[in-house]
Chain A
Amino acid sequence: MKVKKEKQKLVVIGNGMVGHHFLEQLVEKNKSIVFEVTVFCAEARPAYDRVHLSDYFSGCSAEDLAMGHIEQYHEWGFELELNNPVIAIDREKQTVTAQNGSLYTYDQLVLATGSYPFVPPIPGHQHERCFVYRTLEDLDAIRTAASTAQSGVVVGGGLLGLEAANALKALGLEAHVVEFAPGLMATQLDEGGSDLLRKKIEALGVKVHTSKATELIAEVDGRLRMQFKGGDELLTDMIVFSAGIRPQDALAKASGLQVGERGGIVIDNCCRTSDPKIFAIGECALYEGRIFGLVAPGYSMARTAVAQLTGAEIFFNGADMSTKLKLLGVQVGSIGDAHGRSEGATAITFVDEQGGVYKRMITDAKGQKLLGAVLVGDTGDYDTLLQYHLNDIELPEHPEQLILPSVDGAGSPLGASALPASATVCSCYNVSKGQIIDVVHGGCQTLAEVKDVTKASTGCGGCAALLKNIVDTELAALGMEVNNHLCAHFTYSRQELFHIIQVGEIKTFDDLLDKHGSGQGCEVCKPTAASIFASLWNEHILEQAHVGLQDTNDTFMANMQKNGSYSVVPRIPGGEITPEKLIVIGDVAKRYDLYTKITGGQRIDLFGARLEQLPEIWRELVDAGFETGHAYGKSLRTVKSCVGSTWCRFGVQDSVSMALRVENRYKGLRSPHKIKMAVSGCTRECAEAQSKDVGVIATEKGWNLFVAGNGGMRPRHADLFATDLDDETLIRYIDRFLMFYVRTADKLQRTSVWLESLDGGLDYLREVIIDDKLGICAELEAQMSRVVDSYQCEWKSAINDPEKLKRFRQFVNSGESDDKIVFVKERGQPRPATTEEILKAAESA
């Protein structure tokens, strides 16, 4: 017979992020619970995410921030005492006394009491309009005070202080930051970084006052006057103190535990205090004379304490205090010895005053090891630098390349293979590269599975890119294919599906699904198949067989806007338009009361058309000679042009004629993603051709062709593909380039990403398209000719086909229009009404 083990009594004081993590880890690492756990929490609610506290001001609720849930604690069998702080510890009797008077005995005690905000003892600091920034209740109080205030001051220019300043700004106040030191974020940043941060923050409208010591806070005529040493003063309506934290060690001190000279409960590398039955973790603990005011080291202490209780061997050996964050929208990163205080340290600095970027690397005397770094304005290199620093990896021969902007995309981030197995990839959950490789070898074959098993990248997510890199590299090393299946219904990539449809001459989705797929299709595979059908066979998209496959924009040949109305974009090739046509657009816009805007691609967008109005609008436009602009499709959008040699005194070629020729040739081509082009008449590049999928720039000898540029979320400059081409060669190369892209790209893959993923890159592309290495150029050209020859204006065909027009009824059984689409006027034009405006109108009706 098994003897039931007597449960040990474990008391945890404090239920912040670290205390909660401790309990989570305890449950996870110790499946057969042998502890009877009681948790004391001074606040009214269980643990919440204090790192994202400021999100509380931008719409996050207390519930959203919650980490611990009462139900969860019940499930674990833990007793949770909310609103009931411990007021005394009797170490001899091994008991704690709670505020409500109850007495609890313990076998093991964990102190996770955290810290409290430091408020400098300035006379007047207790004024009712002075606050701290620590708990949700503090934030509630700040919000209430801000509702009647004009301006607010944050005392403290550190990390949390700037966050508080952002919060005040978000609450609509004029925000000031007052800092005692000469610079902002003095702990993390050097002078150069701090100066730039200050400039950026001031540019955002936050007033920064440094080297200011506040001597007195006094109420004057209902406002607060801050008096500074040296005579300056500042008038404000409220003050938030954020001048650092102090460990919450009063309880420990009173019970005779050893504390540091300037506070903090002294712990060893097992997180034990001077009493072996008592642990201290998180911001209340002092390890080798240091307090760690970040959550990751706190978590690390929590894991150490759990290991001690469950017999595992994990020790706390200090923690890296490097941080990367966004303060008021400014990217800031600090790694290791940011101030270069180590002996023999040398530095490499990169400053781009115009772009507002400051980067500084601190290396050892020989320039071989990275000791620290400061990044302001651009933290793109943070992950790479951090790995060099944490893993003592030897720096490359020209370390400056690590922070210099890459000229031709050559700036190589530190690949997964360069890291040692011991390298920490995810510091939130303490996952090393070795552990990730182990689970991949153990059978995890997708990123999601690896995340699930290791928890890596499920905390702050900062390591997501590196994690993916490691998983992909490892899978490739194991000879496994990375899954590129289109969706659950087709076990093929888009490229494979393209070939299947082409070779099998498949014309309908049903046929395709029958022969090569399973199930009933979805919103991923249906439009993809429709796009391939269009690229190959170019049938009208509203043919009966294709109707159910299209996204709403393709179905109604217009762009759906947020209230369910549509926008209409007639094609204006090359941006060239006659006054007559301009007047027609104006007339139509006026007649249907449409919002009118010139787009970034030299066209005119007409917004606010109701579904049932689309055919009438297009009938008028088509009658006036307009064609569809395909603004709704994954297809050729615009070909932007400058005025070229015809008018411009610098132009060397007729860019308008070429833009017209190109736009008219490729209009209607369906592709994996939308395509934009531009033609510039000289190297001044007024058409911005280098940010387009296909860019053409005139030279004195002909045309330079650029490919695979991209604006949008991830901008990329186009690559120079060929120079000084004559008209015919230019068109031939574009034909081949576009068709090769259409045939081989993945679904929704832009030309920029496609080129980057092409084995062999630009050189390979040149071999295929210019040298015809694969012998496919004739076929590519022929296929493009078929598309060009079978072009029809989709709208022109639709308005002449009563069957197709049936789709454009708001209600199939009534001629009424949708009364839930409501517009209001702004600057003389209609715009969608907001929900509030709709409700208001409904009340007064």
Chain B
Amino acid sequence: MYQASAKPDPFNSIAITRPQWLPICRRSDLVSNSGVCALWGDTSSEKAGNTFRSEKKKGIALFFLPGQDRQLYAVDNWDPIAQAGVISRGIIAELEGELTIASPLYKHHFRLEDGVCMEDANIQLATYPLAFNGNTVYIGCNK
């Protein structure tokens, strides 16, 4: 569970599949009912020849839905259909009862929960757990 309950305690969750939780941005960087993009990976050092199409660095779209049962979602920012990093700039849309993000270029819907494209189930964005810890937003990733 990644929702911000009174005391989020993602650090003591299940041992075996426990993701490594790392800070990604501040709470105030998020925008209510919309998305922002954060850079994920090695952001401190510029490795030679690694600035382009680096596997280590990628944009992740973060969505904040205050007041909902689950209020934080994170999916890859890269839209594989439009071939551009624009997912964070779409509109959050409910489609057939599912919360989705409508990509701004060609309007495909990706389910926030698991990243599956509603128009083509063969296409899926990677998703990540996200949680508040005080004023910091943490992202979980499996090492």
Contacts and interface: CB of A to CB of B under 8 A. Distances in A.
5 contacts: A526-B93, A548-B32, A560-B105, A810-B59, A814-B39
A742 B24 CA distance: 44
B51 interface: yes
B11 to A, nearest CB: 20
B75 to A, nearest CB: 15
A816 B56 CA distance: 14
Chain A interface category by residue count? 35 or more
Given A521-B93, A523-B91, A807 B31 contact: yes
Contacts of B53: 819-820, 838, 842
Interface in A515-564: 519-524, 526-527, 544, 547-553, 555-556, 560, 562-564
Given A523-B107, A812-B36, A813-B43, A820 B85 contact: yes
A766 interface: no
Contact of A820 (B36, B38, B84): B84
Interface stretch (B1-9, B94-102, B126-134): B94-102
A549 B36 contact: no
B63 to A, nearest CB: 10
Contacts of A556: 89
Contact of A812 (B38, B82, B97): B38
B37 A526 contact: no
B19 interface: no
Interface of A: 488-489, 519-524, 526-527, 544, 547-553, 555-556, 560, 562-564, 806-807, 809-814, 816, 818-821, 835, 838, 841-842, 845
Given A548-B91, A548-B92, A842-B53, A818 B85 contact: yes
Contacts of B31: 547-548, 806-807
Nearest to A832: B84
Contacts of A842: 52-53
A831 B142 CA distance: 38
B99 A520 contact: yes
Interface of B: 24-25, 29-34, 36-39, 43, 49, 51-54, 57, 59, 62, 78, 82-86, 89-95, 97, 99, 102, 104-105, 107
B54 A819 contact: yes
A809 B59 CA distance: 12
Given A523-B102, A812-B25, A812-B62, 14 more contacts: A520-B94, A523-B91, A547-B31, A547-B32, A564-B82, A564-B86, A806-B31, A809-B36, A811-B38, A811-B39, A812-B29, A812-B38, A813-B39, A819-B54
A564 B51 contact: no
Contact of A810 (B37, B84, B102): B37
Contacts of B93: 521-524, 526
Contact of A489 (B91, B94, B105): B94
Contact of B52 (A524, A560, A841): A841
A551 B90 CA distance: 7
Given A526-B91, A845-B49, A548 B33 contact: yes
A835 B80 CA distance: 12
B140 to A, nearest CB: 16
Contacts of B54: 819
Contact of B82 (A520, A524, A562, A811): A562
Nearest to A518: B94
Contacts of A522: 91, 93-95, 102
Given A527-B91, A560-B104, A820 B39 contact: no
Contacts of A819: 51-54, 57
B97 to A, nearest CB: 8
A555 B84 CA distance: 18
A354 B63 CA distance: 57
Nearest to A521: B94
A556 B91 CA distance: 13
